Chains A and B, each alone.
Chain A
């Protein structure tokens, strides 16, 4: 049994304003540094959400809507400022791919380290190593330091590890898009299989197509609030319409 329950969750960031000597000595030099008057940003506002076994939830909304913050909250990385966030089940997450790798180490070592970070024991991750390597299709690239990897290769590595550990809850940020068509298809199949055993997935995406094809529920976030929550096609349609009316139809196809 795994579940996610958010009860009146608020998440407020404190913006750590850099104050330098220049700011003190030169009046007006801070005009690009103002971020709200009290230096805080409310990323999520009074969020109510509950997700149960077997649900695949797509989260859509434009940049800065609070999608990634929501994922990090679910992952336990950001504690809620107020309200309650209860997540039951083993979490595996995949956020931005720019960090979280040991650049000097090769692919194998990174698989091992990532597996440990996701809560595997050394024995367990070593047993799964071969399977992870096969799924990633990285072959000989695994023997090379990951600093030479492309973003697609990072994705293959990270996704393979994150799903191989058989999590109850899989949190994916808009990264799967970095993969090539073949890998995206492969990833989709694997997620389908995972969902057969009643698991939860929360997937942040800008691709309406993927939201519809990969998920069976869709949440539309806007400025930290849930605008709509329901069947993916209906929600993505409504979301696209709102973009159209704002003249921002360049976002997401």
Chain B
């Protein structure tokens, strides 16, 4: 099953890369600022949210804005990939019904496109950070890389699962959207995790898989600390389990997928 899955992706690697290229080009086509939007969007959002919250919490925007920015980037990536995943197969109907292209490349396509956007956003973050808190920039930030790798696998799994479920249940897309919106507030992004813990709601993030993936990117990229090894271990375990499940689902759905499109 795994072998078949990866072989198919390898076989269609050129198709995959040309789709990803196309998607990235199309996203900002005809816009004056083009790909800069990939940077400006999360930056602007962080300024808005960070600005508002630093007033509400009465804290220093210089510290608060990067904090929000760091947490928002991985969230936008996970949310965007899961949401895009719902249309991965349905949007590729023309190809899946006419050619023997391997279906598994389509959720991966969504994930890769969103991942490239995430990298742009992280670049924006680092630039801003260099100005706001140059003293924090250091080698600890390298721990972001394993975090990104695990998060990528998790996001791909979400896209796979969403793509398969949406084949049979088209109501899944709005449902997932709502669910993710809820999870966004349950994940310590706009507030520190301790705030939940203080009020006895630590279960809310302890049992929330998104928490671990956001954490392993958000914390190391701020350069001041690195999450405990158990956070990485839990994230790795979740990623492995969900990824296995998602491959099983995709490979099962692949047979006769053309009937459902």
Contacts and interface: CB of A to CB of B under 8 A. Distances in A.
Interface of A: 13-14, 16, 72, 75-79, 91, 93, 95-96, 99-102, 104-105, 109, 112-113, 116-119, 121-122
22 contacts: A14-B259, A72-B258, A77-B96, A77-B97, A77-B99, A77-B100, A79-B255, A91-B100, A93-B98, A93-B99, A95-B97, A99-B94, A99-B97, A100-B97, A100-B99, A104-B29, A113-B18, A116-B12, A116-B15, A117-B99, A117-B101, A121-B14
B98 A109 contact: no
A79 B101 contact: no
Report, nearest first, the 7 A-B pairs whose CB atoms are least far apart. Answer: A99-B94, A100-B94, A117-B99, A100-B98, A116-B15, A77-B258, A95-B98
Contacts of B22: 102, 105, 109
Most chain A beta-carbon contacts within 10 A, residue among B94, B99, B256: B99
A122 B12 CA distance: 11
Interface in B1-48: 12, 14-15, 18, 22, 26, 29
A105 B260 CA distance: 27
B259 A78 contact: yes
B113 to A, nearest CB: 15
Nearest to A119: B100
Nearest to A13: B259
Nearest to B17: A122
Interface string B63-101: 000000000000000000000000000000111111111
B93 A99 contact: yes
Given A13-B259, A109-B22, A122-B14, A77 B98 contact: yes
Q: Chain B contact residues (Cβ within 8 angstroms of A): what range? A: 20 to 34
Contacts, number: 57
Nearest to A16: B260
Contacts of A116: 12, 14-15, 18
Given A105-B22, A113-B15, A78 B256 contact: yes
A101 B95 CA distance: 8
B105 to A, nearest CB: 11
Contacts of A101: 94
A33 B29 CA distance: 42
Nearest to B101: A117
Contacts of A122: 14
Contact of B95 (A16, A75, A91, A117): A117
Nearest to A18: B170
A91 to B, nearest CB: 8
A50 B136 CA distance: 72
Contacts of B95: 100, 117
Which has the most chain B C-beta neighbours within 10 Å: A99, A112, A121, A122? A99
Interface string B94-138: 111111110000000000000000000000000000000000000
